Amino acid sequence: MSDGAAGLPPLPEMPAFEAGSVWLVGAGPGDPGLLSLLALHALRAADIVVFDALVSEEVLALARPEAAREYAGKRGGKPSPRQPDITKQLIAHAQSGRRVLRLKGGDPCLFGRGGEEALALAAAEVPFRLVPGITAALGGLAYAGIPMTDRTINSSVTFITGHKVGGEVPDAIDWAALAAGAPVLIVYMALHNLPLIAAKLTAAGLAPETPVALISKATTPAQRVLESTLGACADEADAAGIEAPCIVVIGEVVRLRQALDWTAPREARAAAAARALAARGQRAAS
């Protein structure tokens, strides 16, 4: 996309990024095309960008050249900066009068600790702003051709995290309630604990045949999608060498991928789409 705008309407006015403030911004799942205009504005205005492990190179490349860059990533099970040290740094940078962009993969406040960092900023009376981002589930499902909801399948969707920072499965999850109440379940950071998660959901009543899709490195050129079932997905992910970061989609919406994978040849999709429409009593308008 050209940045020149001859004959095109001007871009909207953006709020001022004040010196001495911190913007907690979601960078989206990877594709720089999924960055918001506010995030781009922040990248172009920031004095320092403090970024986490899931922010892509292509996104960081959009920061103005003079901006300092500081890595503050956390990855489960690996040595990484302690959370109190990250927030102390954010506060110190802001108090030195800089425009501090805290850039996180996906959305900052959905399994991203944005709220926790904002609490520390608020307590220190550092002004801040929360800028949402496209979370991995929204990005990954769209790029895999799986609708998150479909009127004939689900009127709710549940996002859960597959592990805590230490690596364990979170202990407060009511698997029986999830199995009963979540027709579509999207598990973040699911890969490490996938055998356990699949076993818990099966024990709680979900059929082993329930369709599952694994989406690795969502929306990046390295994205891989594996279609499987709840009973087989852990073994198949292992055999296929699926890598983190990976989200897992569990539910009947996964079957629609046959018709909606828009990266596949259109002839391949048409028959599956006609079948899906016929099954819901609609005629394909062709």
Tokens, residue 224: 């891989």
**Under rule CB under 8 A, which residues in 242-271 are in contact with its own copies?**
253, 256, 259-260, 262, 266-267, 269-270
Which residue, among 257, 268, 252, 258, has the nearest Cα to 182 in the 3D structure? 252
Give the C-alpha separation, 214 to 229, whole Å. Answer: 10
The answer to whether residue 74 is catalytic is yes
Give the C-alpha separation, 276 to 259, whole Å. Answer: 8
Burial of 16 (0-12, 13-18, 19+ CB in 10 A): exposed
Tokens, residue 192: 């490490």
Q: Which of 31, 52, 107, 150 is catalytic?
A: 52
**Under rule CB under 8 A, which residues in 69-98 are in contact with its own copies?**
84, 87-88, 91
Tokens, residue 74: 């956390």
The yes or no reply on residue 105 touching its own copies (CB under 8 A) is: no
**Under rule CB under 8 A, which residues in 133-162 are in contact with its own copies?**
133-135, 138-139, 141-143, 145, 147-151, 154-161
Contact (CB, 8 A) for 70 and 48: yes
Tokens, residue 33: 């095309």
Q: Report the residue number, 71 or 262, with the smaller CB distance to its own copies.
A: 262
CB of 239 to its own copies, least distance (A): 28
For residues 181 to 220, the per-residue mask of contacts with its own copies, x marking binding by CB under 8 A and - elsewhere, is xxx-------------------------------------
Local structure of residue 208 (DSSP, 8 states): T
Q: Report the residue number, 8 or 79, with the smaller CB distance to its own copies.
A: 8
The answer to whether residue 148 is catalytic is no
The answer to whether residue 52 is catalytic is yes
**Under rule CB under 8 A, which residues in 20-39 are in contact with its own copies?**
26, 28, 31-38
Residues recognised as catalytic: 52, 74, 189
